[in-house]
Amino acid sequence: MRVRFVTLAFLLAIASIWSNPVRAGSASLEFLPGEWHQMASNAGKCLDCRIVVGKNGQDFTVKANNGWSAVVRPSIYGKPFVAGKGSWDSNVRGVYGGKPFFLNLGMMDNKLLMLMAVPGRDGTLRNIKAIFEREATSGGT
């Protein structure tokens, strides 16, 4: 029952962030790899927060400079995002240290949208939403 609740809550969270038209069809997913810096987040301002997205076969690897990483892959249903799982490093201080999470990424115009859903001990999800912009020196177009 708890798994169904968490799954339903996760799907509702995804729907809420992706309710606006996001142009991230399979063709635009080729623009995901590269270095991205955070422009905005509901978790607080972080001028130094960056992620690096790499391509590994069908999967994409995501590594953040603030202590988390994930592996995501394109939707098998052709939806306009990539989704997967990751975890915070165990040595990260605070509430997120060592915790697993669900991650969704999608492109809108030249911005990378992120939704990270971290399950809490009580089964509720903490949603971290962020917008990233490509680094000027990154390898994308």
The pLDDT value recorded for residue 79 is: 76
CB 37 within 8 A of CB 49: yes
Overall number of domains in the chain: 1
Whether residue 82 is contained in a domain is answered as yes
Domain region containing 100: 2-134
- Beta-bridged to residue 85, according to DSSP, are 71, 102
Whether residue 139 is contained in a domain is answered as no
Whether residue 141 is contained in a domain is answered as no
Whether residue 17 is contained in a domain is answered as yes
pLDDT tens for 55-101 read 999 899 999 999 999 999 998 887 778 999 999 999 998 888 999 99
User: Could you tell me the CATH number of the domain that includes residue 12?
Assistant: 2.40.128
Q: How far is Cα 10 from Cα 24, in angstroms, rounded to an integer?
A: 20
Whether residue 28 is contained in a domain is answered as yes
Mean pLDDT of the chain: 82
Whether residue 93 is contained in a domain is answered as yes
Whether residue 41 is contained in a domain is answered as yes
Q: How far is Cα 65 from Cα 79, in angstroms, rounded to an integer?
A: 28
The residue among 81 and 137 whose pLDDT is bigger is: 81
For 70-128, give the DSSP string: EEEEE-TT--SSEEEEEEE-TT--STTTT-EEEEEEEEETTEEEEEEEEE-TTSPEEEE
Q: Which tokens hold the place of 109?
A: 């115009």
The pTM (predicted TM-score) of the whole model is 0.76
The fraction of the chain above a pLDDT of 70, given in percent, is 77
Whether residue 46 is contained in a domain is answered as yes
